Amino acid sequence: MSSVLGMLPSVLMMVAPILIAALGGMIAERAGVTNIGLEGLMGVGAFAAATSHALLESSLPGSVWFALLMATAAGTLFSLVHAFASITLKADQTVSGTGINLLSIGGTVFLCQIIFKQERTEPYKLGMMPGPGGIYPTAWIALVLLGAIWYLLYKRPMGLRLRACGEHPAAAASAGIDVYKARYLAVLASGALAGLAGGCLVLTQTIQYTNMTINGAGFIALAAVSFGRWTPKGVGGASLLFGTAVALAIYMVNIEALRRLPPEFFSVTPYLITLVTLVIFSGKDYAPKAVGIPYEKGAS
């Protein structure tokens, strides 16, 4: 039991980026735009954070926080591509998300080669420091964001408008809501959150950015969105579950009872659970109704 409690900080370290990115994915989908580019956006964020931290670590006190800011900004900027393609130009959202993912891998390592003359960023000496109880501040950031996003989505008119755009954009438009604006806002928010998530991941879990840093965390976040059925509560729970599974895959060697299991057992659980629940709950539609469908003004 003590070893399980002792694992709590590591678990939260894994959960935080997944939860933050999943919140971003949730916002975009609630507004009607699928964002399978989460993985790529996290990569861009992680690269931005690792680069600025590696360069500024010695000269700027608190450069970790500045790095997180850079990660958020990079994610926002990069998601503009997805927003422009899928909202303004009504492109297929899956295609443009795939493009984001491909561009991210190439683009970040390309920049590493230019800035650091190698295929990864320079390692930094100190990442983010854990707070009381060995818990990284990223866990608290994730928790605050979870609460804030719940409040915005369900207690503010803005959230209601945003959700309307994902359910029935034409009806929302007839009630005077600017669907394009709401969707842009949602996609940019998802980019900001995914970027921040990438920054959190790289600064707590490793010491530099490589093309293997994100390694599927964005896709786990995407799974958490649909397993959490597009609600903040559900997404929070799903991220906790999936993050725990990821942490167990890494730290199971320390736990006597689990040592015999292959590590792949835990790595695969998030994906397997999501797939199975998709089948079980297939009859009921939890997904926003208009997700994935470009909105055309004046049509229908």
Partner 1 sequence: MSAAPKDSSHGASKASLLDTLVASDGAVSAFVVILGFLCGTALILAVGKNPGNMYAALLQTLSGFDVTRGSWNARYIGEWLTASMPLILCGLSMGFAARTGLFNIGAEGQYIVGLSAAQFVAIYGPQVPGLHWILAVLAGALAGALWGGIVGWLKGKYSVSEVVATIMLNYIAYFLSRFLTQLIPEANTYKTQSFPKTALLESSLLQGLTNGSRLGLGIYIVIICCLFYWFIIERTRLGFELRATGFNKEAARCSGIKVTKSITLSMGIAGAFAGLAGVVVALGSFNYGRVLSGYDYYGFNGIAVALVGNSTAGGTLISGLLFGMLSSAQPLMQSRQIPKEITQIISGLVVVFISLRAGFRMIMEWRAKRIAKEKRGERDE
Alpha-carbon gap, residue 272 to 240, rounded angstroms:
16
Query: 48 and 201 in contact (C-beta within 8 Å)?
Result: no
CA separation (Å) from 188 to 52, 57, 125, 129, 185?
22, 28, 32, 29, 5
Choice between 90 and 181, CB closer to partner 1? 90
Question: How would DSSP label each residue in 34-90?
Answer: --TTHHHHHHHHHHHHHHHHHHHTTTSTTHHHHHHHHHHHHHHHHHHHHHIIIIIS-
Query: 45 and 195 in contact (C-beta within 8 Å)?
Result: yes
Min. distance of Cβ 272 from partner 1 in angstroms? 6
Min. distance of Cβ 275 from partner 1 in angstroms? 4
Min. distance of Cβ 36 from partner 1 in angstroms? 7
Choice between 72 and 101, CB closer to partner 1? 101
Min. distance of Cβ 107 from partner 1 in angstroms? 6
Choice between 176 and 298, CB closer to partner 1? 298
Three-state SS for 131?
coil
Site residues, partner 1 (CB under 8 A): 34, 36, 81, 85-86, 88-92, 94-96, 98-107, 109-110, 113-114, 212, 215-216, 219, 222-223, 226, 262, 264-265, 267-268, 270-272, 274-275, 278-279, 282-283, 287, 294
Min. distance of Cβ 157 from partner 1 in angstroms? 30
DSSP percent split of the chain into helix, strand, coil, nearest 5 = 75, 0, 25
Query: 166 and 289 in contact (C-beta within 8 Å)?
Result: yes
Choice between 2 and 282, CB closer to partner 1? 282
Choice between 95 and 144, CB closer to partner 1? 95
Alpha-carbon gap, residue 81 to 297, rounded angstroms:
21
Choice between 30 and 161, CB closer to partner 1? 30
Choice between 38 and 64, CB closer to partner 1? 38
Q: How far is CA 284 from the centre of its chain?
A: 25
Choice between 130 and 269, CB closer to partner 1? 269
Report the 10 Å Cβ neighbour count for 71. 33
Min. distance of Cβ 62 from partner 1 in angstroms? 30
CB burial of 73-88 (b: ≥16 within 10 Å; e: otherwise) equals bbbbbbbebbbebbbe
Min. distance of Cβ 262 from partner 1 in angstroms? 5
Helix (H) or strand (E) holding 282: none
Alpha-carbon gap, residue 245 to 42, rounded angstroms:
20
